[in-house]
């Protein structure tokens, strides 16, 4: 059994990942309130686990596995699909606010279009994109979280990026034509 000192160290280390876990929870649940509940459930399950990971192991990956399993259990009981909430609702940086307002607007529009495209991906592909490109997990870490081979992760990520490219291609063409007319 872990001592109170060990638990305090674990609690501090686990809290370092709360933002990443919340972002992933939003991707899974598509609802801010459910995402908060899922993060809380993840921490409760992690704290009460008999075997915490060692200090040199991948605590973040372990927490993501717990979260995904908790979500899958929730879906089994609820028996309905998830709803989506924005991935990033952050405020513009001070650099953006000092730039040309038109450029700031175009960047914000571009971010929104990318978020919308990710949102339209099938769940399995969206989950891989979020874990790899937003959360920065390695292929092996994603394979551990999703309980599938790393090769499956790579092929799904390739398919997801291809679909995103096709969804965003008309927007890219419009921008290219717009630049050609101005130049």
Helix (H/G/I), strand (E/B), else coil: 28: helix
CA distance 29 to 41: 13
Worst-scoring range by mean pLDDT, 69-78, 85-94, 100-109, 160-169? 85-94
Residue 99 and residue 62 share a domain: no
CB-based contact 128:156 (threshold 8 Å): yes
Residue 113 and residue 52 share a domain: no
Residue 103 and residue 72 share a domain: no
Residue 73 and residue 21 share a domain: yes
Q: Is the pLDDT of residue 103 over 80?
A: no
Domain coverage including residue 24 = 4-78
The number of folded domains in the chain is 2
Residue 173 and residue 101 share a domain: yes
Residue 84: inside a domain: no
Q: Is the pLDDT of residue 127 over 70?
A: yes
Residue 37: inside a domain: yes
Q: Is the pLDDT of residue 167 over 50?
A: yes
For residue range 40-91, what is the model confidence (pLDDT) as tens digits?
Answer: 999 888 888 767 776 667 888 889 999 998 888 888 777 544 444 455 555 5
Q: How many CB atoms lie within 10 A of CB 34?
A: 19
CA distance 39 to 70: 10
Alpha carbon separation from 114 to 23, 120, 148, 150, 151 (Å, rounded): 16, 10, 26, 25, 25
Q: Is the pTM of the predicted complex or chain greater than 0.75? A: no
């Amino acid at each position: 059994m872990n001592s109170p000192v060990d638990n305090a160290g674990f609690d501090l280390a686990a809290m370092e990942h709360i933002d990443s876990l919340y972002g992933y929870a939003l991707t899974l649940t598509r609802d801010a309130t459910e995402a908060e509940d899922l993060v809380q459930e993840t921490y409760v399950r992690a704290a009460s686990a008999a075997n915490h990971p060692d200090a040199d192991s991948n605590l973040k990956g372990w927490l993501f596995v717990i979260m995904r399993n908790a979500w899958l259990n929730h879906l089994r009981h609820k028996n309905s699909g998830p709803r989506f909430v924005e991935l990033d609702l952050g405020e513009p940086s001070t650099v953006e606010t000092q730039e040309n307002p038109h450029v700031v607007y175009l960047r914000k529009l571009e971010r929104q279009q990318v978020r919308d495209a990710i949102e339209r991906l099938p769940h399995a592909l969206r989950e891989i994109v979020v874990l790899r490109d937003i959360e920065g997990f390695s292929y092996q870490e994603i394979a551990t979280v999703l309980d599938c081979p790393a090769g499956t992760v790579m092929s799904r990520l390739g398919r997801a990026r291809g679909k995103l490219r096709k969804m965003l291609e008309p927007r890219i063409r419009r921008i290219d034509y717009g630049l050609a007319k101005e130049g």
